[in-house]
Chains A and B, each alone.
Chain A
């Protein structure tokens, strides 16, 4: 049923220090506290739908990254998605697929990585990204289309 998925308490205890440190570097001391709570609440929302307990570190850092991106966007509503500076520095969750997905806008990149890198379903990805299943599906397929186009152009 839920084999391999640790109790949330253990997941939280394992990753909380690193997530907070990551958010402080990424978004600054002031914002990090709010983002910390937002990150783990998003993780909790998606946690019951996880199908395996692998890559949880990458998974939670992906969620943290997206929480920071969303907060940045709220502060600069006019900022273009593709120019969002918050999307350009650290991306520890994307390590493995990074060379391939580097050029994608943050949401699409996250959806592609979570779908194809971590094999999560769209429902879970939607929850992790703070949106919904349909938006996650659209982001992933937009990302894949964009990657295909880039490949053709090379």
Chain B
């Protein structure tokens, strides 16, 4: 590669381009990384249809590749496009919001996943359900294990509340973001004492 100026570009120029890109409507996914939430850093992304990603412990390299395969390569970190998502998550973490008022883009999820996630979205704040019950609600009562897989691949945890799904015996079972976070979220909602 050619040696070039090593000084970074002015921040104002960088921010101006990112804002213009967000406003241009040309992005497949606009994302940001929220560094200081109570559950650690979260990568959040929106497509033109709505929220399309919430990711714990994001490794941007891997995560952006995955978003590229699912939504297209025009992916850019544009904090201004995530203002609303950031605000609703802040309110949720502060205990001031019980339901998210966001459009969701599940277009990249397989059909069975979409059905399960739609059912999941009806499990209210502070409530819990089981893998088996969700399976029965989508008409596949024996598919509890498959429902577990859908939870594990949930493209937007917290907003689609897979932390509210527990084992039939009441154990927390598992969580894509780790059991500590599941427990924290359930305590926040008063579902665990």
Contacts and interface: CB of A to CB of B under 8 A. Distances in A.
B16 interface: yes
A50 to B, nearest CB: 8
B3 to A, nearest CB: 10
A44 B64 contact: no
B73 A21 contact: no
B64 A10 contact: yes
B67 interface: yes
Contacts of A16: 9, 14
B64 A7 contact: yes
A20 B74 contact: no
Interface string B1-43: 1101111110001101100110010111000000000000000
Contacts of B77: 9
B17 A40 contact: yes
B72 interface: yes
A48 B73 contact: yes
A47 B20 contact: no
A30 B100 CA distance: 45
Contacts of B68: 2, 5-7
Interface residues of A, number: 27
A47 B74 contact: yes
B13 A20 contact: yes
A33 B28 CA distance: 25
A47 B71 CA distance: 13
Interface in B141-178: none
B76 A12 contact: yes
A2 B108 CA distance: 15
Nearest to A1: B69
A60 B142 CA distance: 54
Nearest to B60: A9
Contacts of B28: 48
B75 interface: yes
Interface in B45-88: 60, 64-65, 67-69, 72-77
Interface of B: 1-2, 4-9, 13-14, 16-17, 20-21, 24, 26-28, 60, 64-65, 67-69, 72-77
Given A2-B73, A21-B5, 7 more contacts: A9-B75, A12-B17, A17-B4, A17-B8, A41-B21, A41-B26, A45-B26
In the A-B complex, the 10 residue pairs with the smallest Cβ-Cβ separation, listed nearest first, are A7-B64, A21-B5, A7-B75, A18-B4, A5-B73, A7-B68, A2-B73, A20-B9, A37-B17, A44-B26
Interface of A: 1-2, 5-10, 12, 16-18, 20-22, 33, 36-37, 40-41, 44-45, 47-48, 50, 57, 92
